[in-house]
């Protein structure tokens, strides 16, 4: 099979062939090299997708995840059950079909008989276009990433009355943004998932829509546990088969599961409630750093930063982040990165002062950086390794 000819085609969920799904905006040379990688490890009835934080600034860092169509269908069945979704539903599609978020919608609709409508504008996200399509097509379900929720809130757009649930995944959704979206009527269901699990494994319950509480309930197809080191682990039939990767001139394929369990880099806790597992994510391992011997959660610091920025300049709230950089004395230090020219010196001073007033002394901003743009994945995740390279 010519792998390159199968890039980005619509999915036939009953096809036994393999298919490579990659970001078409990546350079052609990198796309060809990754297709060559997948072809080296043929897997029937599989889809190959890049890990969600991948960037081809260095193709050696890209992991191609092998996911069986059967795994997608198992995930889709559990999500449909959780959402009580059937053929009466209409899904609005605004997520890439080369990512599990977009593929998940297609698989759910295939199973339930629901209709899927394209809510993009010339293949580009537009918050106003999304609302127009939802109103016109009487959309009942969709899936968004926090960056898209941010755009809806910034424009003050209210949710169409036909919507009954919107799954939010791909990155952490801050408390402030969640509450602002609720105030505009958006029926958000925060979720937790990954490329390696064929999309979400835990999602807020339908009965909690509109409430401030957003407990993530483990879906029926997956189980979770916490390792002795505090990392989340998952088992279930929607897990990846394995991943392929270039390492220099060599190609490798590995199955990272241990006795059927996928060990993640995410820290978290598991609670039990009414016979269900409740997932409490606490951030990725690299978001936990030591400063002067104290543990610091960068995810929480960025939530505080976003909250402060919302009050100073809402339109720029996604254009600033704090990052931990090495320090010879304290091991790490917190630094501000500004990726916009919309902020004046007075704005930045105000931002630093208000942020520093809400954090511990060792968490205060020690330095500022100005870049043309903060690198992000197609789903809005900050590409931290790439950003650190820019700051060196």
- Residue 53's pLDDT band, with cuts at 50, 70 and 90, is low
Provide the domain limits for residue 355: 292-391
Question: What's the CATH number where 176 sits?
Answer: 3.40.50.12780
Given 238, 256, 282, the domain boundary residue is 282
**Is residue 86 in some structural domain?**
yes
Task: Compare 7 and 325 and report the one with higher pLDDT.
Answer: 325
Q: What is the pLDDT of residue 3?
A: 41
List, in order, residues 6 or more apart from 12 with CB less than 8 Å away: none
Q: ∠ at Cα 323 (319, 324), nearest 5°? A: 175
Q: Are 308 and 270 members of one domain?
A: no
Which of 248, 282, 316 marks a domain boundary? 282
Asked whether residue 8 is domain-assigned, the answer is no
Mean pLDDT of 191-201: 95
Mean pLDDT of the chain: 90
- Residue 362: give its domain's CATH number: 3.30.300.30
Residue 55 pLDDT greater than 90, yes or no = no
171 and 74 belong to one structural domain: yes
Residue 216 shares a structural domain with residue 77: yes
Does a structural domain hold residue 259?
A: no
Residue 378 predicted with pLDDT over 80: no
Query: Looking at the structure, do residues 312 and 340 belong to the same domain, yes or no?
Result: yes
With a pLDDT cut of 70, the percent of the chain lying above it is: 95
pLDDT reported for residue 170: 79
**pLDDT for the residue 6:** 39
pLDDT at position 256 is 95
Residues 6+ apart with CB under 8 A from 58: none
Domain count, the chain: 2
Q: Are residues 270 and 296 in the same domain?
A: no
**Stretch 110-122: mean pLDDT:** 93
240 located within any domain: no
- Tell me how far apart the alpha carbons of residues 35 and 382 are, in angstroms, rounded to a whole number: 25
Higher pLDDT, 188 or 147: 188
Say yes or no to pLDDT of 314 above 60: yes
Residues 340 and 196 in one domain: no
pLDDT at residue 291 is higher than 70? yes
The reported pLDDT for the residue numbered 52 is 65
Residue 344 clears pLDDT 50, i.e. is over it: yes
Q: pLDDT band at 240, cuts 50/70/90? A: very high
Q: Let me know whether 299 and 339 are in one domain.
A: yes
Average confidence (pLDDT) over 276-280: 93
pLDDT greater at residue 2 or residue 38:
38
In a shared domain, residues 107 and 135: yes
Give the least confident one: 167-171, 191-195, 360-364. 167-171
Of 58-62, 151-155, 302-306, 326-330, least confident by mean pLDDT is: 58-62
Position 104 scores a pLDDT of 96
Residue 15 lies in a domain: no
Task: Verify that 333 and 218 share a domain, yes or no.
Answer: no
pLDDT value of residue 5: 32
Query: Is residue 217 situated within a structural domain?
Result: yes
Of residues 51 and 19, more confidence is placed in 19
pLDDT at 9 over 80: no
Q: Are residues 270 and 298 in the same domain?
A: no
pLDDT higher than 70, residue 8 = no
User: Regarding predicted confidence, which is higher, 306 or 170?
Assistant: 306
Query: Would 58 be classed as within a structural domain?
Result: no
Residues 80 and 196 grouped into a single domain: yes
Residue 184's pLDDT band (cuts 50, 70, 90):
very high
The structure's pTM equals 0.83
Indicate whether 9 belongs to any domain.
no
Q: Which residue has better confidence, 363 or 376?
A: 363
pLDDT in tens, 345-375: 999 999 999 999 999 999 999 999 999 999 9
pLDDT at 93 over 80: yes
User: Do 317 and 185 sit in the same domain of this protein?
Assistant: no
């Amino acid at each position: 099979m010519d792998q390159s000819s199968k890039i980005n085609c619509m999915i036939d969920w009953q096809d036994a062939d393999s298919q490579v799904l990659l970001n078409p905006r990546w350079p052609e040379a990198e796309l060809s090299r990754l297709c060559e990688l997948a072809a080296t490890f043929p897997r029937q009835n599989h889809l190959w997708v890049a890990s969600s934080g991948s960037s081809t600034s260095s193709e050696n860092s890209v992991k191609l995840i092998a996911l069986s169509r059967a795994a997608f269908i198992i995930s889709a069945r559990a999500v449909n059950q959780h959402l009580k979704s059937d053929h009466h539903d209409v899904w609005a599609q605004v997520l890439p079909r080369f990512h599990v978020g977009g593929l998940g919608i297609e698989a759910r609709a295939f199973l339930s008989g629901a209709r899927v409508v394209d809510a993009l504008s010339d293949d580009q996200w537009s918050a106003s276009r999304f609302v127009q399509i939802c109103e016109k097509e009487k959309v009942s379900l969709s899936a968004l990433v926090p960056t898209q929720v941010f755009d809806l809130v910034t424009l003050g757009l209210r949710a169409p009355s036909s919507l009954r649930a919107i799954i939010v995944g791909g990155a952490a959704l801050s408390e402030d943004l969640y509450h602002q979206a609720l105030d505009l009527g958006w029926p958000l269901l925060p979720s937790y998932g990954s490329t390696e699990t064929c999309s979400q494994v835990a999602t807020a319950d339908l009965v909690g829509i509109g409430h401030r509480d957003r407990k993530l309930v483990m879906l029926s197809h997956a189980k979770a546990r916490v390792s002795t080191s505090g990392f989340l682990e998952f088992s279930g039939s929607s897990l990846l088969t394995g991943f392929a990767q270039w390492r220099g001139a060599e190609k490798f394929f590995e199955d990272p599961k241990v006795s059927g369990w996928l060990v993640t880099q995410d820290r978290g806790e598991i609670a039990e409630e009414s016979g269900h597992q409740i997932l409490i994510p606490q951030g990725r391992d690299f978001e936990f750093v030591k400063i002067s011997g104290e543990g610091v959660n960068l995810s929480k610091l960025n939530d505080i930063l976003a909250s402060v920025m919302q009050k100073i300049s809402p339109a720029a709230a996604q254009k600033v982040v704090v990052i931990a950089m090495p320090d010879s004395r304290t091991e790490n230090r917190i630094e501000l990165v500004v990726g916009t020219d919309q902020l004046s010196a007075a704005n930045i001073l105000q931002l630093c002062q208000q942020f520093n007033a809400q954090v511990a002394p060792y968490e205060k901003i020690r330095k500022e950086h100005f870049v043309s743009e903060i690198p992000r994945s197609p789903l809005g995740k900050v590409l931290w390794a790439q950003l650190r390279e820019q700051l060196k």
